[in-house]
Amino acid sequence: MQQTSTRSPTSQVRPEAFGYDQARHLLWRAGFGGTPEQVQTLVSWGPTKAVDYLLDAEKVDFREARADEFNSSIMRPPTMEEQAAIRRARQTQDENALAQVRLEQQRRQRDDRRQAREVQRWWLARMIETPRPLEEKMTLFWHGHFATSYRTIEDSYHMFQQNRMFRAHALGNYGDLMFRIIRDPAMLAYLDNNDSRRDRPNENLARELMELFSLGVGNYTERDIKEGARALTGYTFRDDEFYFDQGNHDTGAKQILGVSGNLDGDGFVRAILARPACSRFMCRKLYAFFAAEPPDSDRELTRDASGVLREMASDMLRSRYAVKPVLRRLFLSEHFYSPEVMGQHIKSPTELVVGAVRSLLTPARDLSILLDAMDLMGQSLLFPPSVAGWAGGRAWINTSTLFVRQNILAYLLTGKRPQGYDPLADEQKYDPAPLLSGLDESARTDPSRVIDYLLRFTVGSAPTHARATLEQFVASHGGRVSNDMITGLLLIITAMPEYQLT
Amino acid sequence: MPLPDPAAFTRRQFLHSGLVMASAAATLPAFLQRSAFGLPMPALGMSSIPGVPEDHILVVLQLSGGNDGLNTVVPFGEDEYYRRRQGIAVTQQQALRLDARANGIGLHPALAPLKEMYDEGLAAIVQGVGYPNPNRSHFKSMDIWHTADTSGTGDGWIGRYYDSQCCGFGKGESGTPEQTQTNPQPGIAIGRTAPLAMQGRRLQPVAFETPNLFRWTGQDVHESLHEPYRAITTAGVPDGADANSQASFLMRTALDAQVSSDLIRRAVAQRPLVQYPGSGLARNLAMIASMIRAGLKTRVYYCDLGGFDTHAGQGGANGQHANLLRTFAEAVRAFYADLKAQENDKRVMTMVFSEFGRRVGQNASGGTDHGTAAPMFVLGPMVRAGLHGEHPSMRDLDDGDLKFRTDFRQVYATVLERWMGAPSKEILEGTYRTLNLVRA
């Protein structure tokens, strides 16, 4: 008897099964949600064209993230003259001169913290404005994957440079990013590789490179870490540029992950990329970010999830670590639109905030207030909590963050500032009328049609009790659907527990 | 092109017109005065069972910025102190003398209220607390204190306490949550975010700056939004729904949030039993006292007082640092007076720390730079009042810095073992000798 092959290709989503709910789902996952009009456009295109449009971000015109967007010299190293002056002051115990140096240092740190805030605002605005949402979404993915925090490195320009690199390669090649990350000043400082010495290798970068960035625990040995750390000696930076410090590099023979030779950092990365565990690990991470949190053990995966993951990994290997074919496989799989995936993702604070502005068409209002709220919700851009990035999923939610989530939506919808800010209401009035463009003219005044429409657009579906509550609310105001009424309905809907999901 | 174009976004940004709904906010009755919530509440002033560890409460007070230990607990008997701090030293006449055992050691004069507590047997002072290889970065050193780990990484020590003690409840009957609470009451931090110290895995802490923020503000837009909001957030998980689904998890949390918000806001709406000073710290401690009085099951509260990073012009007996110490001492004095009036004082221990002390010598700006060891305070009627540990030597320095005498994790271990009844070895991931700080 012939056995059913477990390697049969997983099914692709059928064009006729790609409707409003599926297009809306795709826009939220591969971007930050969309307006009813955008959802309808993707429906009319069908799944293949829709997915390719999102993937081929470079074909959509958008302003470049320029290197001179921010000041690169705030935290520049001291010049020779400045160094000499500091030395002199130390030798002569010139307290006044030393106090000057200290003050100057403090001034720069203050300026730099201010600039870090500017970079956050800049990125948030870009996520809100971009016509290439998947590019920014992947930039956010890489930021959480190769997590580096300003809090430790205290150099805003290095954070910005890293962010530009993630964006430039957002939908490019993961292997390229691995070669670049071991040359990235922010990462080198964050994981102390600039302190690594030939005779005293620092193992931090070597360990995380395998544990968190590529292979996962269990796929390397302590010896691989030690040898990897030797391979990475001499990888440091000067000012804003990578610098290979030949004198500090250990040129001796090494054996890493079964590869022998006088390996340097590139040799180490090549040894990693040659392991089959690498593509499996990366595809699990992409799957967790875009689809659903997979169970800890592969054995507990459902058949469909397991099949899609396997195909993603084989696409990744076949394309030598290109990202696009892997995401294409996921976004076009039938599994991606199954109940196992749809509506099961807890929005990250970034997705919640950016997604609300983009899909509900609210004014963006004060970006500083949005950033503060994101911080309170547990996601401060450029400040991931550790090298492991953000845990995501249920870790986002507790009783405090849930109120912040509801309240920032109330702010976006009404402009009423949270307490602690200038109490003057934001003057930009939210106009919800364009949201109803997908509804027949005649239905726009029918409360139950409007409620159905809004629920479907925001939370997909809703329990009947919620619908009844909303209908009662409209009825208690005379049953008239005005713009204020729509805003009121959205205030309640965005406070629903289900609104946190997508 | 279907996706947003940046110009449209910019146009939207400049759409100006008045708000209709938001303007109703000012005329609304306060959320707290409404009574039709339909949610059961535990009786206020719920009985406590003194002496039972499940009733013990810990308040952690963080002095942020690096408190100058030498001008807090002053070694007025040391010439070296006066030699290195000519502009900012507290004189022998100004220092508050403790007792006969405290030879040459006194308190900063601004700590007079704390001195009264000391005399009443309510204050233990642990001298020269620090850790090996001190880190002088605010962030890093704070992380080290919060994680109780010299790498400054991992979960918070209070979070690990909650994890190990099943969400902060001791074992046994009196530790089980009230039926009205769907989940045990997590630790409460007064502040914008919960500190790293409280981050664990099983139960997330609650954090709020003012209880007015720990609630939905959408209802301020129009009062008629209140009832529908209640209905959708307190519905709970519908019968037959998968209890493990994301939606069910969110519905449970939404219900918890409402219950906690109601409890907490109702608790802090009570007037304190004593008059507190006007500082922010005093206000925060008054809120904590009110929550304790209302019978919240919370076992750990956290609050902080910032501004101790006195690099310039810190002053001596008067000035910037003196004002901070006065704020601190007056607030904790009022806090314990309130707790005593509630008859809850014996249940509440307060532990006070800062991420580091400051350098021995003053700098050229009349201030002090980041240093190392500093004193900690442990307050409450249960403490063995007095000076504990040794004052760090003023002569045997490490590159101009004091050498610590007591590891801060010994204090944590003491608080955990002797007050919270929790295994310190498991929580602190190491064995630390406890101190004789708590009366048997």
CATH number at residue B259: 3.40.720
Contact call for residues B161 and B148 (beta carbons, < 8 A): no
Residue A35: list chain B partners with CB under 8 A: 4
Does A406 contact B218 at a Cβ distance shorter than 8 Å?
yes
Rounded mean pLDDT, A65-76? 96
Helices (H), A146-238: 150-153, 156-168, 174-181, 185-190, 204-211, 222-231
> Which of A131, A407, A431 has its CB closest to that of B3?
A131
What is the pLDDT, as a whole number, of residue A405? 96
Out of A132, A363, A398, name the one closest to residue B15 (CB): A363
Please tell me the distance from the alpha carbon of residue B416 to that of residue B424, in angstroms, as a whole number: 6
* Confidence bin at B8 (pLDDT 50/70/90): very low
* Structure confidence by residue, pLDDT tens digits, A386-425: 899 998 998 898 888 999 999 999 999 998 877 667 666 6
The residue of chain A nearest to residue B208, with distances taken between CA atoms, is: A400
Do the chains contact at B229 and A414, CB–CB below 8 Å? Answer: no
Q: Give the C-alpha separation, B345 to B363, whole Å.
A: 41
The C-alpha atoms of residue A467 and residue A457 are separated, in whole angstroms, by 14
| pLDDT (0 to 100) of residue B53 | 54
Cβ separation of B6 and A63 shorter than 8 Å?
yes
**B41 belongs to a structural domain:** no
Choose the mutation target among B31, B137, B232 for the interface with A, i.e. most A CBs under 10 Å: B232
Contact A410 B212 (CB under 8 A): no
Residue B107's domain comprises 52-428
User: What predicted TM-score, i.e. pTM, was given to this entire model?
Assistant: 0.82
Question: Nearest-CA distance from B439 to chain A in Å?
Answer: 36
**pLDDT band (50, 70, 90) for residue A38:** very high
Determine the residue type at A56.
D
- Chain B neighbours among A 22-81 (CB < 8 Å)? 31, 34-35, 37-38, 41-42, 60, 62-63
Whether the predicted pLDDT of A445 surpasses 70: yes
Does residue B70 have a pLDDT over 90?
A: yes
Chain A neighbours among B 361-420 (CB < 8 Å)?
Answer: 363-365, 369
What would the pLDDT profile of A123-168 be if each residue is shown by its tens digit?
999 999 999 999 999 999 999 999 999 988 999 999 999 999 999 9
Distances (CA, A) of A456 to A467, B158, B249, B428, B431: 11, 42, 21, 49, 56
CA distances from A461 to A360, A438, A451 (A): 17, 17, 11
Residues of A in contact with B311 (CB under 8 A): 102, 106
pLDDT digits (tens, 9 = 90+) for B252-281: 888 888 888 888 999 999 999 999 999 999
Range scoring the smallest mean pLDDT among A235-239, B20-24, B200-204: B20-24
CA B377 to chain A, closest CA, distance in angstroms equals 29
Does residue B81 belong to any structural domain of this protein? yes
Sign, Cα dihedral of A449, A451, A452, A454: positive
pLDDT confidence band for B49 (50 / 70 / 90): very low
Q: Tell if the CB–CB gap between B6 and A429 is shorter than 8 Å.
A: no
By Cβ distance, the residue of B13, B228, B254 closest to A492 is B228
Are residues A403 and B214, on separate chains, in Cβ contact within 8 Å? yes
In this predicted structure, the answer to whether residue B429 has a pLDDT above a threshold of 60 is yes
B221 vs A345, A358, A491: nearest CB: A491
For A40, nearest residue in chain B (alpha carbons): B2
Domain membership of residue B217 (yes or no) is: yes
B213 with A386: Cβ contact below 8 A: no
Is pLDDT larger for residue B85 or for residue B19? B85
Return the H-helix or E-strand segment holding A272: helix A265-273
Question: Percentage of chain A with pLDDT > 90?
Answer: 84
Q: Is the dihedral of CA A327, A329, A335, A336 positive or negative?
A: positive
| φ, ψ of residue A495 in degrees (nearest 5) | -90, -5
CB atoms B21 and A487 under 8 Å: yes
Closest CA–CA distance from residue B305 to any residue of chain A (Å)? 18
Measured between beta carbons, the chain A residues lying within 8 angstroms of B193 are 375-376
Is A419 at the interface with chain B, CB within 8 A?
yes
State the burial class of residue A59 (Cβ atoms within 10 Å of its Cβ: 0-12, 13-18, 19+): exposed
Closest residue in chain A to residue B20, using alpha carbons only: A484
| Residues 79 through 138 of chain B touching chain A, CB cutoff 8 Å | none
User: Within an 8 Å CB–CB cutoff, is residue A16 touching chain B?
Assistant: no
Domain count within chain B = 1
Contact assignment for B232 to A473 by CB distance below 8 Å = no
Do A414 and B232 make contact, defined as CB atoms within 8 angstroms? no
pLDDT computed for residue A10 by the predictor = 80
| Residue B184: predicted pLDDT | 57
Check A429 against B17: CB less than 8 A apart: yes
**Which residue, among A277, A309, A278, A316, has the nearest Cα to A293 in the 3D structure?**
A309
Is residue B90 a part of any domain in this protein? yes
Give the distance from residue A7's alpha carbon to the nearest chain B alpha carbon, in angstroms: 29
